Amino acid sequence: MSRKPNIVKQAWLVINSSCNNHCSWCYEKKRLGNKEEFDYKLLRSTIKQLSLIGCKKIVFIGGEPSLYHKLKDAVGFASSTGLKQCIVTNGKVFSSESFLDRLNANKELTDFIVSFMGASEITHDSLSQVRGSFIQSFKGLTEIIKKGFVATPNFTVGSINKNEIKQFINKMKSIGVEAISINFAIPPLGITYTQENFLSPKEISLFLEGLSESLPDSTMKIYLSTPLPFCIIPNNARLLVESGIIVLTSCHIQSGEGIVIDKNLNLLVCTHFSGFNLCNLQTLNTETKLSEYLSNPALLDLRSRIRQLPFEDCHECSYNTFCTGGCPLLNIIYNKDEWRVN
């Protein structure tokens, strides 16, 4: 297995933990009441370091990043370094036109990912545990689009809302959206959860089969933002992958092209591994040290182990030349027998 140095193309910056939703399956649930934020001076330094090591894009994430008190300044500073930017948000704060106007001058802020958990007020508000959140998020999405930003609605799928995906696609079409992403809710590490809120690999396969039946004549592009092993992609979905209607994604941990830095300057392998830190950047106070760490043999070994196909059967699979085994977190949670769908 290759151990080439990690070339970071994209960095996720977890700038706060506060949120104006209380989503039932949030991997940051333990920290949502924490009002601490990324110190702005340290955030500027981190952004500068990332630009100097060749990073191309940063993603502001939380918590809810729109609640960060220096978001406008952070976006402006990142723009001055030439870094492209994305904001992952529930969209509620962006329902205010004036708030968006304060960000609109920054051409390097290229896109938004707006999170939804239902196609209806009842479902979305139930899962976000905040009454009125669907209306605010939908208005935020429409305002973002109106201002000329690229906006990708993201539908997080679990057992409760899985039957609303077709309704969601139609609702997004009605406002001119041409592409959505689908994220499968994953049981968070280190947090007590109820398994029935999540789809097993077999249930994900059935969901994709039903979704694909409704898509052949659709112009809506579907990005599966949760990396999935090819063996659970049903045949009708595979045809749509070949035609470009459904787009599969790969894991940035495996490629080494992405890193996550939280508000305490902890370096994480993934946002879903919240609380599982690789190191703290306060000990890496120069650009050279950060660059050296990303080429550290221990980190390269971790990437190499994660990239290995998860099961012995995978080596006999005809798709193993391009399938990386799916999300490593799913492989931790579910055993081999639970993956057998075909």
| 309 found inside a domain | yes
In a domain, 2, yes or no: no
**Per residue, what are the HEC states of 109-164?**
EEEEEEEECCCCHHHHHHHHCCCCHHHHHHHHHHHHHHCCCEEEEEEEECCCCHHH
Query: Does any domain span residue 1?
Result: no
Domain assignment present for 107: yes
Q: Is 329 part of a structural domain of the chain?
A: yes
**Model confidence pTM above 0.85:** yes
Number of domains in the chain: 1
The verdict on residue 5 lying in a domain is no
Note whether residue 283 is domain-resident: yes
The CATH number that applies at residue 123 is 3.20.20.70
Q: Does a structural domain hold residue 3?
A: no
pLDDT 10s digit of each residue in the chain, 342 long?
Answer: 444 555 788 999 999 989 999 887 787 766 666 778 999 999 999 999 899 888 999 999 999 999 999 999 999 999 999 999 999 999 999 998 788 887 866 778 989 999 999 999 999 999 999 999 999 999 999 999 998 899 999 999 999 999 999 999 999 999 999 999 999 988 776 666 666 688 988 899 999 999 999 876 678 999 999 888 888 899 999 999 999 999 988 777 666 678 889 988 888 878 877 767 777 777 655 555 677 777 767 666 766 666 666 677 777 777 766 677 778 777 777 776 666 555
Q: How many alpha carbons fall within 13 Å on the CB side of residue 156?
A: 22
Instruction: State whether residue 336 is helix, strand or coil.
Output: helix
Structural domain span for residue 224: 10-339
